[in-house]
Amino acid sequence: MINPRPNARFALEVGPPQETNAAISTPPRAKPFQTVLGAHAQLQLVAQLAPLQELHARASAELGGSRRRGRPEKVERVSSRSAMPVASRWHRGGTPTHKLHFRKEVEIRTTLQELLLYFIFLINLCILTFGMVNQHMYYLNKVMSSLFLDTSVPGDERTNFKSIRSITDFWKFMEGPLLESLYWDSWYNNNPLYDLKNSSRIYYENILLGVPRIRQLKVRNNTCKVYPSFQSLMSECYAKYTSGNEDISDFGLRRDTEWKYSTPSSNSPWHWGFVGVYRNGGYIFTLSKSKSETKKKFINLQLNSWIRRGTRVVFIDFSLYNANVNLFCIIRLVAEFPATGGILTSWQFYSVKLLRYVSYYDYFIACCEITFLILCIIFTIQEGIKMKEYKSAYFKSIWNWLELLLLVLCFVAIFFNSYCKIQIFLLLESLLKSTEKYSDYYFLAYWHIFYNNVIAITIFFAWIKIFKFISFNNTMSQLSSTLSRCIKDIVGFAIMFFIILFAYAQLGFLVFGSQVDDFSTFQNSIFAQLRIVLGDFNFAAIQQDNRILGPIYFITFIFFVFFVLLNMFLAIINYTYSEVKADYSIGRRPDFELGKMIKKSYDNALKKLKLKKSQEDEGNESVKSRDLAERARREGFDENEIQSAEQMKKWKERLEKKYYSTEIQDDYQPVTQQEFRDLFLYAVELEKELHYISLKLNRVMREVSALPY
């Protein structure tokens, strides 16, 4: 320790001493640590001594006391530099503080502008996506699916489209529920239904567009090989459906289109079913406008065995339009005939808005689409400028990759939207005019749904990008820091997790795949295990299939995945979050916080609205300080006392400006050995001065308490 100098209290009253040459040559330093900051906080008590000093001086004058001991007769001018090096976060040779502060201000302002522009983009995208769908789509699909899927065969309540398992059940459905659901020719009271070009009105509100179409695909005989030992028992073999196995030859009566093969159209998409992927074309016939003629057609096809052993799939396609809600409902009922026998049924109900611009709200959505395109072009130009500026370093940030992915998805969505509109413009009018034949709206609905899926993925990543701007909040910044810091550990854990998951998935598929539906395919086995983790499982089914391996599989999977791996994952997250929180507690926060800029803008807005006092009003304190000095002169105080008080106040303000500056955002900075030595000596000097203040305060309090009242 260094012995106290005799001029310590003089330094307190008139300011710190002049710097030496060594101190001047010392480079700028980092902030003092908590000892210095604590000492500085105690220095604020000095300001409270002024009234006591005045009272003591007046009492001493009245009692004839002498002047206070140790006060110099002449007050020197306060040095503009402190005895210790100036505390700063920048080393010698760095950018000056005011320039760095200006650069940070520009960076914050630019980021704030980018954030506001992105919020405009996000709001516009939300309006655009929610304008594409509405609740009527769900209700229309629900009503139509209930009509065509749940309506039972007359006299057999257990048979509907969902429960079809044989060719006999299929023809019962065609002649019963399908026929009754397609042709609505009277009201509920048997009065004739109003007519519009002989079109059916399903549920009295939905117009049947054109006529329905029935289409089947077949495979050739001998597309598979019969084992020699069984060739005496069977001579025919029909494999599963592929484009190479498809039968394109005429069969049966060979006179109508349903007996002759029709080549597929080039623009129609393929259908992905349960047991195969089916292309367009095949053996096609369309239904009649008359219900009786259609029923005769079904009976004729059934008698002449239109569905045979080589049949692999039958499609039932038709379309509806509801003018009340301006929606098209495109319906496809699918019956697959797998090579194993039986029938697997599936269906598709697409409610889409093909007539896009009808109401004023639709034109508002069109304006949002134009705005979306303009914003995408602006963001593309911005990213191009960044790539040109940063070059290869641009691709080192995960946020830049997310930005590129988002831009790609945006332009893909724009492409599909434009393609759908062009196809609707070219095809819709001709489709509406063809009322006597099948109108293929499935093509338009398919691409419209595809565009809907792309825009849904786009808005998902658009919301994820908000994490890029969450540094303005301490809690959200901790979340992003936790995820970014533990990403490597999570990747390592994911590798271990998926190894065990795939091992158990293959075990379950091989052991239970032939008996349990949840393990019927390898993909189903993986999803079944994820459902087990969430508590959704059918233990009785796997136990019934294998009484030994079933319980062993279930118990070991629960132990390793649920009790070990998932808890390990939570431990990684908790440990990383604890580290991040500890770093934040000691000051290792991001050096760029957008929240301060937002708060500053908010305060400025309040001041302009006169809801908050400006700093000019608060600046009147300086005027009051001068008035207080004049008042002290009038009351007979010594000029040296007044000057010493003013200079001590200036020195205190200078300390606050150095060590509590808003320009320095970081509370934590690494220091060198020399910097640590300088800061330590500075702290020692402050501790000495505080000791002197404490003694002086005690002496003043004793003298004041001894004064007569």
* 172-181 pLDDT, tens digit each: 999 989 999 9
Q: Is the pLDDT of residue 19 over 50?
A: no
Q: Report d(CA 278, CA 275) in Å as an integer.
A: 10
pLDDT digits (tens, 9 = 90+) for 652-700: 565 455 444 444 444 445 555 665 665 666 676 678 778 888 888 888 8
Per-residue pLDDT, 685: 65
Provide mean pLDDT across the span 305-315. Answer: 93
Q: Report d(CA 529, CA 552) in Å as an integer.
A: 14
Mean pLDDT of the residues in the chain: 77
Residue 303 burial (CB count, 10 A) = 8
Three-class DSSP category at 322: strand
Per-residue pLDDT, 659: 47
Contact 209, 439 (CB under 8 A): yes
pLDDT digits (tens, 9 = 90+) for 354-368: 888 888 888 999 999
Tokens of 250: 């005429």
Say if pTM beats, i.e. exceeds, 0.75: no
Provide mean pLDDT across the span 486-490. Answer: 89
C-alpha distances (whole Å) from 480 to each of 10, 112, 183, 468, 589 are: 52, 19, 59, 9, 12
Q: Is the pLDDT of residue 631 over 60?
A: yes
Q: Give alpha helix (H) positions in 304-397.
A: 360-390
Provide mean pLDDT across the span 592-619. Answer: 63
Per-residue pLDDT, 18: 43
Q: Is the pLDDT of residue 433 over 50?
A: yes
User: Which residues lie across from 335 on neighbouring strands?
Assistant: 314, 345
Per-residue pLDDT, 15: 43
Q: Which residues of 527-542 are buried (b: 16+ CB within 10 A; e: fewer)?
A: ebbeebeeeebeeeeb
Per-residue pLDDT, 696: 86
pLDDT digits (tens, 9 = 90+) for 538-590: 888 898 888 899 999 999 999 998 889 989 999 999 999 888 888 877 766 65
Q: Which residues are within 8 A (CB) of 184 and not within 5 positions of it... i.e. 6 or more apart?
A: 193, 200, 201, 202, 203, 204
If one compares 193 and 449, the residue with the highest pLDDT of the two is 449
Q: Is the pLDDT of residue 27 over 50?
A: no
Per-residue pLDDT, 473: 64
Element (H, E) at 311: strand 311-322
Q: Report d(CA 491, CA 472) in Å as an integer.
A: 28
- Terminal Cα-to-Cα distance of the chain (whole angstroms): 44
- Worst-scoring range by mean pLDDT, 287-291, 461-465, 605-609, 651-655? 651-655
pLDDT digits (tens, 9 = 90+) for 408-418: 999 999 999 99
From the list 432, 551, 141, 515, the residue with the least C-alpha distance to 525 is 515
Provide mean pLDDT across the span 300-305. Answer: 91
Q: Is the pLDDT of residue 73 over 90?
A: no
* Phi-psi label, residue 222: left if phi above 0, alpha if psi -120 to 50, beta otherwise: left
What percent of the chain has pLDDT above 70?
72
Q: Is the pLDDT of residue 291 over 50?
A: yes
Element (H, E) at 3: none
Per-residue pLDDT, 611: 64
Q: Is the pLDDT of residue 498 over 60?
A: yes
Q: Report d(CA 438, CA 434) in Å as an integer.
A: 7
pLDDT band at 267 (very low <50, low <70, confident <90, very high): confident
Q: Is the pLDDT of residue 616 over 60?
A: no
What percent of the chain has pLDDT above 90?
32
Q: Which residues are within 8 A (CB) of 128 and not within 5 positions of it... i.e. 6 or more apart?
A: 365, 368, 369, 372, 455
Q: What angle do CA 506, 510, 515 make, to 5 degrees?
A: 125
pLDDT digits (tens, 9 = 90+) for 208-259: 988 999 999 999 998 888 888 888 888 889 999 998 899 999 888 888 888 9
